[in-house]
Amino acid sequence: MTQLRKIAFIGNSLPRRCGIATFTSDLQQAVSKSPAKVETVIVAMNDHGHTYDYPPSVALQIRDENLEDYISTAQALNAGRFDVVCLQHEFGIFGGEAGSYILELMSRLNMPIVTTLHTVLAEPNAAQRRVLTRIIETSAKVIVMAEKGRALLRQVYHAPADKIEVIPHGIPDIAFAEPDLAKAKLGFSGRPVILTFGLLSPNKGIEVMIDAMPLILESSPDAVYVVLGATHPNLIRNQGEAYRESLVARVQALGIENHVVFLDQFVDQAKLLDFISMCDVYATPYLNEAQMTSGTLAYSFGLGKAVVSTPYWHARELLAEGRGILVASGDVQAIGTEIAGLLTDDTRRDAMRARAYASSRSMTWQRTAERYVAVFETAKRHLRALATAPGERHAPTRSVSVLPETQLTYFLSMCDDTGLFQHAVHSVPDRAHGYCVDDNARALLLASALNTSGEKSLPETLTSRFASFVQHAWNPDKKHFRNFMGFDRRWLEDMGSEDSHGRTLWALGECARSDINASRRSWAAALFAEALPTVEMFRSPRAWAFTLLGLDGYCAIRGEDLFAKRMRRLLADRLMDILVRVETGDWTWFEEGLSYDNARLPQALIITGHASGTSAYVVAGVRTLRWLMTKQTAPGGHFRPIGTDGFGDIRKPPQEFDQQPLEATATISACLAAWHADQGAEWKNGANSAFAWFLGSNDLSQTLVDIDTGSCRDGLHRLRVNENRGGESVISYLLALVEFRRFAGLSEQPAEPARLRALCA
């Protein structure tokens, strides 16, 4: 880990009254309290000649229209030997055309810059585009708070994908609570309360909510709408309180003075949390769709409030999947109807609150600070890499220089007229242990994977044999797949494990999508549909994950199957639920311990989120995979899969041995799924590192594969390689190789046996 000592945050700071000031101050405090134990300071922007009574955390100040202040601040930060500067960017807080003065500061800094973009314009003018493009180029990383921001940076500004990070707006970590106590404290006991807070300005749509109040009062005659917030300073400067006065007049004209309360206050966090706590419904009726971030929305969501909002960009993402309600901008009837419905339906409102609160636990300031610190560390490593490799734009990527050809000789030797043998003694198939549906399902997955450009498909009779094994494994009486079969073709059980059932569904789903034989595709889809309902009663997270991977294939060709769609949502939500319940500050995982095939869990969420358009799944999958990769990376930087000696250990560091090919293959698949989601270089590096493990970049510096035959040893013991080469290992290697070849785009390139043997020596 790169040691960080000093971080400087540039932006507005409390007690200046604006959302950027609140965010900068909260982020600085959260990072200063993080386990990283870094010294933090704020460089505060002063507007229009104003000065503020800043706290000690503000070390430097910049007058927004004074260019010399920007230059002298850069010199001071360099002299202070700060490790990273974190810039909070918003149009309107820096001087010069489109805020261009900040470029003079950035261009003079010696340390890496991490920039948080609070607004990403979809249609910038020429000056705005020029300034933001330069900020992106000068920054080591840019952070946005919503996936829409990432998309705009890629589409409009052509920002490199590996430079962009998505970190949601932070929130206070407050216990879930009923509003009654806060209502009593603030004088609203017994009344249904609707709240909007934030600096008052015309784009907030307050008049729409005022116009909706008569409709709300028809069903909730005691309801009150509380509008908390001082008028925006820019509005005060230009118009005084004319806007606020127009809102008061609107209330009076409607005769609802007893039901709308204006509180002209800019409150501290403690009082703000009291106000949020007391509300039954939080409303954000913003009129501008292009609102990338709303701190008020994030805070209310994080306290578990039922939210009714217009569909601006941040709200669309945060409130999706039933976590809130979206209504059209300016639609008085719609917002009134929805709020009235929530106020009169306690069950629905409470369910929405619970969903919001559970979904927001990854957004607490503690978690946000951890993610920022990780980005800061990456930025510092990036600068160090550039210093040791002049002229390189990006840190070098660990990679395998030449990928082996796909050789099936050994795999074919492990098959007979029943299917794939489970084990081998060295390279000799072991008949004593017979067969299992796990390995034959994996073989069916391999058959589908080989149906890609540049690979040679399996013989038709062999693919049919694996399908036949799976069909024979199905026990229609028990509605389960059997797993273990003796060499005499007699089943050793009536039903296998939940995991083997899920893995078989995975193979069937992929076969239904990718098999070259149309009849077999139909068979796979039909058997998948028949076996899917059993999973609803399962309790194994890996069975859920394997089934989700199968649903990705099945739903792609049977999109009309509503039950399958419901199951996909159910299983993904179960993974999200156990993550919320188990995850803590230093344990970002679904279970209390690590076990086998770990990376399949985040992979399932990432793939499901991508297919269903549910960004929360993708975010959770990427976050847990990033944490897992830290546990699977040795101090020397090479891949070290979770060892079997430590399977199930409760929150203990992973054991180094025994290491098995299954883990490397799962990691490669998960990293490539994450790469498809965000194009991050870290995922290419992770997949490369995991594949290099097969070729000798491991704790024993020993190759596990014979590239001429395609065999793969069963793993690494503490002092030696396991020379047995069973069905699971060979399939794991071949699946990893085929997927990695497809990703690397090397399928059509000729092999270089001499170089490959050197790699494996």
Judgement on whether residues 329 and 197 belong to the same structural domain of the protein: yes
Weakest mean pLDDT among 438-442, 613-617, 711-715: 613-617
- For residue 64, the model assigns a pLDDT of 93
- For residue 365, the model assigns a pLDDT of 93
- For residue 745, the model assigns a pLDDT of 61
Judgement on whether residues 219 and 278 belong to the same structural domain of the protein: yes
For residue range 338-383, what is the model confidence (pLDDT) as tens digits? 999 999 999 999 999 999 998 888 899 999 999 999 999 988 876 6
- For residue 402, the model assigns a pLDDT of 61
Report yes or no on 744 lying in a domain.
yes
Check residue 257 and report its DSSP letter: G
Report yes or no on 666 lying in a domain.
yes
Averaged pLDDT for residues 311-319: 88
- For residue 36, the model assigns a pLDDT of 87
CATH (domain of 741): 1.50.10.10
The amino acid at 730: V
> 101, 135, 170 — which closes off a domain?
170
- For residue 215, the model assigns a pLDDT of 95
For residue range 550-575, what is the model confidence (pLDDT) as tens digits? 999 999 999 899 999 999 999 999 99
CATH (domain of 300): 3.40.50.2000
Report yes or no on 389 lying in a domain.
no
- For residue 542, the model assigns a pLDDT of 94
Dig out the tokens for 375 from the structure: 């980005």
For residue range 245-259, what is the model confidence (pLDDT) as tens digits? 999 999 999 999 999
- For residue 87, the model assigns a pLDDT of 98
pLDDT range class, residue 753, cuts 50, 70, 90? very low
Report yes or no on 747 lying in a domain.
yes
- For residue 461, the model assigns a pLDDT of 93
**In total, how many domains does the chain have?**
3
Res. 441: pLDDT tops 90: yes
What's the mean per-residue pLDDT of the chain? Answer: 89
pTM metric for this prediction: 0.51
- For residue 644, the model assigns a pLDDT of 84
Whole-angstrom Cα distance, residue 501 to residue 495?
Answer: 9
- For residue 721, the model assigns a pLDDT of 86
Res. 424: pLDDT tops 80: yes
- For residue 400, the model assigns a pLDDT of 53
Weakest mean pLDDT among 204-208, 374-378, 741-745: 741-745
749 versus 100: which is more confidently predicted? 100
Judgement on whether residues 526 and 675 belong to the same structural domain of the protein: yes
- For residue 377, the model assigns a pLDDT of 92
Judgement on whether residues 200 and 118 belong to the same structural domain of the protein: no
Judgement on whether residues 689 and 753 belong to the same structural domain of the protein: yes
Partners of residue 491 on adjacent β-strands = 485
Separation of CA 716 from chain center: 32
Residues contacting residue 387 through CB under 8 Å, at least 6 positions apart: none
Q: Range of 566's domain? A: 409-760
Query: What is the SS3 assignment for 40?
Result: strand
- Whether the Cβ atoms of residue 343 and residue 223 lie closer than 8 Å to each other: yes
Report yes or no on 372 lying in a domain.
no
The Cβ-side half-sphere exposure at 576, using a 13 Å CA radius, reads: 26
Whole-angstrom Cα distance, residue 682 to residue 374?
Answer: 12
pLDDT range class, residue 291, cuts 50, 70, 90? confident
> 170, 203, 238 — which closes off a domain?
170
Dig out the tokens for 344 from the structure: 């009169």
Judgement on whether residues 501 and 619 belong to the same structural domain of the protein: yes
Let me know how long the chain is.
Answer: 761
Res. 172: pLDDT tops 50: yes
Judgement on whether residues 156 and 196 belong to the same structural domain of the protein: no
Res. 389: pLDDT tops 60: no
Res. 392: pLDDT tops 70: no
Share of the chain above pLDDT 70, in %: 94
Weakest mean pLDDT among 364-373, 713-722, 728-737: 713-722
**Angle made by CA atoms 282, 287, 292, in degrees to the nearest 5:** 80
Instruction: Give Cα separations from 218 to 188, 214, 225, 343 (angstroms).
Output: 19, 7, 14, 11
Judgement on whether residues 307 and 325 belong to the same structural domain of the protein: yes
Judgement on whether residues 166 and 195 belong to the same structural domain of the protein: no
Whole-angstrom Cα distance, residue 678 to residue 187?
Answer: 48
Judgement on whether residues 303 and 444 belong to the same structural domain of the protein: no
